[in-house]
Amino acid sequence: MVQIMTGPEALDRELQDHHRLVIICNDMGQPVRSSTAEIHVAVHDINDNEPVFSETVYNWTIKENNGVGDVIGRVVATDRDSVRPMTHLRLCLNDFVAR
């Protein structure tokens, strides 16, 4: 006899990134003999979530004599698709006007 089991919904790596299945096979003999196997399933991610910034607007004041490499502010973003912190952000100065 073969039984097929299915889950209630699709796999989602953000909810659970791995699953462990235990398979038990019984024969129909006397005495009944059985064997067990384990399957470890790693759920790979698809990029289905966008990064989220901790603020919607960042306002910084920059002194005219700041040195090269001086920190003028910090931007924090998280991404549910990533298990590591966001480390690569691209900054574009749009509509920048020198006065």
In a 3-state reduction of DSSP, which class is residue 25?
Answer: strand
Tens digits of residue pLDDT in 38-56: 999 998 878 788 888 889 9
Q: Return d(Cα 32, Cα 3) in angstroms, integer.
A: 18
Closest CA to 11 of 32, 37, 41, 40: 41
pTM for the model: 0.47
Q: First vs last Cα of the chain: how many Å apart?
A: 81
Tens digits of residue pLDDT in 57-72: 988 888 888 888 888 8
